[in-house]
Amino acid sequence: MAIAQNASVTLDVNGNASLAATAVNNGSTANCGPALAGALSVLPSSFSCTDAVPPTVASALSLNGSGQYLTVAPGNSLPIGNSSYTLEAWIKPTAMGPTVSSAGAPTAPAHR
């Protein structure tokens, strides 16, 4: 009996990722006991940027709180100063530094 669990795949800096059958196995069994590791497979097991879900309005980003951050390229891609927009974040104030959000040069303390 095949029993699977959800698994997340993160693309590396080259835009590629792979997924092992052991990452989705959640106690699968064969006729005579636990399924052997070599008997399990996942298809597809490799992914690239073309497999990524395209962003939509109300998309979410999850950071693990251990040195991860988001940088947005400069340009007109964000409606800053010329349109309405909402930026929301759930934060844990006791676990972070002084900056929640900044605009401009990352070293400019006036933009916090």
Domain ranges of the chain: 1-32+39-51
pLDDT digits (tens, 9 = 90+) for 7-66: 888 888 888 888 888 888 888 777 776 666 567 778 778 888 777 766 665 556 666 666
What pLDDT, on the 0 to 100 scale, is given for residue 102?
Answer: 60
What pLDDT, on the 0 to 100 scale, is given for residue 41?
Answer: 79
For 8, phi then psi, to 5°, come to -100, 140
Q: Which residue has the higher pLDDT, 20 or 86?
A: 20
pTM to 2 decimal places: 0.40
Residue 23, token pair as written in the block? 């990452």
Q: Which helix (H) or strand (E) holds 5?
A: none
Tell me the C-alpha to C-alpha distance, in Å, between residue 18 and each of 24, 86, 111.
Answer: 12, 35, 39
